[in-house]
Chains A and B, each alone.
Chain A
Amino acid sequence: NAGVTQTPKFQVLKTGQSMTLQCAQDMNHNSMYWYRQDPGMGLRLIYYSASEGTTDKGEVPNGYNVSRLNKREFSLRLESAAPSQTSVYFCASSSNPGPYEQYFGPGTRLTVT
């Protein structure tokens, strides 16, 4: 089992460009999450999907969109990247929403110039 995989690992964008971060899990989990991690701060939730076909905003959703493509895949899209979106992005999954252990991917390091 690969667990949670993310692509790409690194990306550099110019302000105003768009891109999609991909996430997939092979653990048959119902719930998936996108977080960002900034220096000196903990991870903050951007969006989550409690189950296939549903998505909800987290703590910092502005500037992002998500798609739960199927049970395995959950993508994060930046329509018009801004320097404030420079961060490390982590995808996670859990068997169900709420108090269940979350498993994390290796992260995508994004720089917006």
Chain B
Amino acid sequence: KQEVTQIPAALSVPEGENLVLNCSFTDSAIYNLQWFRQDPGKGLTSLLLIQSSQREQTSGRLNASLDKSSGRSTLYIAASQPGDSATYLCAVVESDMRFGAGTRLTVKP
């Protein structure tokens, strides 16, 4: 059974810092991996989707990498801002989508 783990569970950084969020998964036979943002009391907003054949995807200040062989993905956020404060979820797709529990990020002004 696929297990998805996100470490740390919570992270607090000062504004302007570059940071990395981690996602690991146990079964490398995935189709793709998706990173989401969730604001308190809201739904999920898709940030980046990496196909299994890709190594990374970039969108603005966000860069996500995928290493299937080691079962890892990272989400890099450059020059963090208070508006980046949210919970970040990763999910892997095999026959269905499996989610990690998320990392709650706080960016302090």
Answer yes or no: do A and B interact.
yes
* CB-nearest residue of chain A to B51: A99
Cα distance A48–B42 in the bound complex, in angstroms? 21
Say if the beta carbon of A82 comes within 8 Å of chain B: no
Cα distance A101–B4 in the bound complex, in angstroms? 18
Closest-CB distance, A36 to chain B (whole angstroms)? 11
Q: Count residues of B near A (Cβ-Cβ below 8 Å).
A: 25
Residues of A within 8 Å of B31, CB to CB, are 98-99
Q: Count residues of A near B (Cβ-Cβ below 8 Å).
A: 23
Say if the beta carbon of B79 comes within 8 Å of chain A: no
Q: Is the CB of A103 within 8 A of B46?
A: yes
Cα distance A99–B49 in the bound complex, in angstroms? 10
Residues of B within 8 Å of A106, CB to CB, are 42-43
Residues of B within 8 Å of A98, CB to CB, are 31, 93, 95
Cα distance A4–B46 in the bound complex, in angstroms? 13
Residues on B lying within 8 angstroms of A by beta carbon are: 4, 31-32, 34, 36, 41-46, 49, 51-52, 89, 91, 93, 95-102
Cα distance A104–B42 in the bound complex, in angstroms? 10
8 Å CB interface, A55-113 against B: 58-59, 90, 92, 98-99, 101-107, 109
Closest-CB distance, B33 to chain A (whole angstroms)? 10
Closest-CB distance, B7 to chain A (whole angstroms)? 13
Q: Is the CB of A101 within 8 A of B46?
A: yes
Cα distance A48–B97 in the bound complex, in angstroms? 11
Cα distance A40–B52 in the bound complex, in angstroms? 27
